[in-house]
Amino acid sequence: MRALIAAATGLALAFALVLTITALGSPAGTTSPKPLLTTVPSHP
């Protein structure tokens, strides 16, 4: 019974971690102020 509870705890923690990370996601950022180029850049 104790082994079952330990396994369930491990499983629950794994789910909680993954769900939290995916829910947080990543910030969208902001649109770059750089223009759409109409000149040839000298380097990347």
Partner 1 sequence: MRRKSGLILLALAVFFAALSPLLRWYAFPRLAKVPADQYTTMVLEAKDATLLDYDSFQAVKVPKVTIVQTLKGNVEASEKIERTAGRDVVVWDGLSYVQGPDGKMVSKIPERYIFDAHTQEPVHATGEMVDGDPVKREGIEFKWPFLTEKRDYEYFDAQARVTAPIHYKGTQNFRGVPVYYFEQTIPWTKVPFPTYMPVKGVTAETVAATGTTRWYTTVRKFWVEPVTGAPVYGEEIHEEELRGGRLLEGREKVTAFSGHVKMREDYIESTVALVKSQRVLVLWMTSYLPWGFLTLGVLLLALALCLEARGRRPADPAPAQTSAPEPVTA
In the region spanning residues 2 to 41, those forming contacts with partner 1, defined by CB under 8 A, are: 2-3, 6-11, 13-15, 17-18, 21-22, 25-26, 28-32, 34-41
Q: What number of other Cβ atoms are within 10 A of residue 16's Cβ? A: 10
End-to-end CA distance of the chain: 62
- The yes or no reply on residue 1 touching partner 1 (CB under 8 A) is no
Distance CA 5, CA 11 (A): 10
Q: In the complex, which residues of this chain contact partner 1 (CB under 8 A)? A: 2-3, 6-11, 13-15, 17-18, 21-22, 25-26, 28-32, 34-41, 43-44
